[in-house]
């Protein structure tokens, strides 16, 4: 286990050999703003309590007699309104301008009724401690900023209302996903990220290699340095895996392997597509949920998917089910002119999904983002050599986790649903 500690950017090392018992108390969940304001009548049950809030200054309003500091600790959308007057310990930090948007503070005080209309309680500060001052260039001030701008500040965007909320929704959906499958007896399988298996092929893949020098040296690396065979081909025998290796596009085959031994399993891990799609609907790196059920057919499969979506609470009503073949038929029958012409075997595009959900089944709002398609599996995964040993009917589905987050949050751009989005030309932070 590797421990680290940074005190406002600097490394601290203590140099003592000591047993746990001597130094460390019990690990306790810390009191958060969500615990305080999430209580009875927005925190009124805590009136009179003396407590400590740790968080970041969102805004500061200096008035003649008192100063209001809005503090957020990321546990919920709501800030804790903290009030300080000139008598309180640490008030000089307000006067000196140390307390500004973005500063990290600890406030110790008593819960009192708030005169304001926006909240029922506030914290009357006894003691204020600035733990870390705000950088003067802190770019997120109290004004509306675009999500495009925030994407360029990925390391700061979780401090905004929207991205803080997205992070919490994403977390809740991820945990509910694990809970659903665990409670139903599924075993989580970590499907591999790197694969040298040449039988996938659903989409463009990223190559994973050590033939190109690592890290900083790469940028100045001569193309000639790639090792070659006598025939001028890339010499894969010198690569890390001694053959071409790629980032996985799906864990389905791996899940199948385990389903045919453990009955019901699921993967929940990153998958990759190197498609040059610079759209609001595509990510080069995204998380997939892929359950696999042995001794199961399509009905069991769809029942599982429906139960899952109801459990994670993104749908309440029933689904319309449509096979890929029927969807294609429906689109052909429509006689509509699509930008991408429809024929059996083509990938369905947003315009096609829109027609199906908005026109063909306009009374059924729930299928929206969850267009169901029968996997044309025989074509995309030619892995009969491994499958032959399975010998059991099995079924499953694949769900892009970011699509689910998008569905739950209503965000336009899928890049806003994942902490550090990867897209063509973009792999920062």
Residues in 93-152 at the binding interface with its own copies, rule: CB under 8 A = 102-104, 106, 131-135, 138
Closest-CA residue to 372 (of 308, 288, 304, 302): 302
Span from 37-45, 84-92, 115-123, 230-238 in contact with its own copies (CB under 8 A): 230-238
Q: Taking CB under 8 A as the rule, does residue 407 contact its own copies?
A: no
DSSP type of residue 76? S
Span from 17-25, 37-45, 85-93, 331-339 in contact with its own copies (CB under 8 A): 17-25
Residue 206, Cβ density class (10 Å: 0-12 exposed, 13-18 middle, ≥19 buried): middle
Question: Which residue has tokens 């209309």?
Answer: 117
Report whether 340 contacts 349 (CB < 8 A): yes
Q: Taking CB under 8 A as the rule, does residue 188 contact its own copies?
A: yes
- Among 12, 115, 143, 345, the residue binding its own copies under the rule CB under 8 A is 12
Number of residues that bind its own copies (CB under 8 A): 188
Nearer to its own copies, 86 or 161 (CB): 161
Report whether 33 contacts 55 (CB < 8 A): yes
DSSP type of residue 316? -
Q: Taking CB under 8 A as the rule, does residue 305 contact its own copies?
A: yes
The rounded distance, in Å, linking the Cα atoms of 283 and 279 is 8
Touching its own copies, residues 30-69 (CB under 8 A): 30, 32, 54-56
Minimum distance of its own copies from residue 168's CB (angstroms) = 6
- Among 51, 110, 112, 156, the residue binding its own copies under the rule CB under 8 A is 156
Span from 110-118, 119-127, 170-178, 335-343 in contact with its own copies (CB under 8 A): 170-178
Q: Taking CB under 8 A as the rule, does residue 171 contact its own copies?
A: yes
Q: For 56-114, give the DSSP string.
A: EEEEEEE-SSEEEEEEE-SSSSPPEEEEEETTSBTTHHHHTT---TT-EEEEEEEEEE-
Nearer to its own copies, 66 or 360 (CB): 360
Closest-CA residue to 265 (of 289, 298, 300): 289
What is the DSSP pairing of strand 187-188 with strand 264-272?
parallel
Minimum distance of its own copies from residue 186's CB (angstroms) = 9
Report whether 75 contacts 167 (CB < 8 A): no
Torsions phi, psi for 355 (to 5 deg): -60, -45
Q: Taking CB under 8 A as the rule, does residue 313 contact its own copies?
A: no
Report whether 265 contacts 377 (CB < 8 A): no
Touching its own copies, residues 331-360 (CB under 8 A): none
Span from 82-90, 113-121, 242-250, 332-340 in contact with its own copies (CB under 8 A): 242-250
- Among 110, 234, 281, 282, the residue binding its own copies under the rule CB under 8 A is 234
């Amino acid at each position: 286990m590797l421990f680290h500690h940074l005190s406002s950017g600097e490394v601290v090392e203590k140099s003592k050999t000591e047993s746990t018992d001597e130094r460390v108390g019990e690990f306790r969940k810390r009191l958060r703003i969500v615990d305080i304001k999430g209580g009875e009548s927005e925190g009124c049950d805590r009136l009179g309590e003396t407590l400590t809030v740790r968080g970041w200054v969102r805004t500061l309003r200096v008035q003649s007699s008192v100063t209001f500091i809005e503090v957020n600790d990321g546990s919920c959308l709501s800030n804790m309104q903290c009030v300080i007057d000139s008598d309180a310990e640490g008030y000089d930090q307000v006067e000196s301008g140390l307390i500004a948007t973005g500063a990290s503070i600890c406030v110790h005080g008593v819960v009192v009724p708030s005169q304001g209309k926006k909240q029922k309680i506030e914290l009357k500060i006894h003691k204020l401690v600035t733990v870390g001052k705000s950088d003067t260039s802190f770019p997120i001030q109290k004004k509306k900023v675009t999500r495009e701008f925030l994407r360029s500040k990925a390391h700061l965007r979780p401090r905004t209302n929207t991205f803080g909320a997205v992070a919490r929704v994403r977390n809740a959906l991820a945990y509910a996903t694990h809970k659903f499958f665990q409670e139903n007896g599924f075993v989580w399988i970590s499907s591999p990220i790197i694969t040298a298996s040449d039988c996938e092929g659903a989409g463009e893949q990223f190559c994973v290699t050590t033939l190109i020098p690592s890290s900083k040296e790469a940028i100045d690396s001569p193309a000639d340095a790639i090792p070659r065979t006598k025939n001028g081909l890339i010499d894969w025998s010198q690569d890390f895996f001694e053959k071409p290796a790629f980032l996985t596009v799906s864990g389905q085959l791996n899940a199948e392997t385990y389903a045919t031994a453990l009955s019901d399993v699921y993967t929940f891990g990153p998958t990759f597509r190197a498609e040059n799609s610079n759209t609001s609907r595509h990510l080069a790196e995204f998380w997939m949920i892929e359950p696999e059920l042995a001794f199961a057919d399509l009905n069991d499969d769809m029942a599982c998917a429906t139960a899952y979506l109801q459990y994670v609470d993104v749908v309440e009503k029933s689904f319309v089910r449509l096979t890929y073949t029927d969807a294609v038929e429906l689109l052909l029958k429509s006689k509509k002119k699509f930008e991408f012409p429809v024929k059996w075997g083509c990938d369905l595009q947003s315009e096609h999904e829109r027609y199906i959900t908005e026109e063909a089944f306009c009374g059924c709002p729930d299928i929206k983002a969850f267009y169901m398609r029968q996997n044309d599996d025989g074509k995309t995964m030619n892995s009969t050599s491994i499958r032959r040993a399975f010998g059991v009917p099995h079924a499953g589905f694949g769900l892009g986790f970011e699509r689910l987050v998008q569905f739950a949050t209503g965000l336009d751009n899928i890049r806003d649903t994942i902490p550090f989005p990867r897209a063509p030309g973009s792999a920062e932070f």
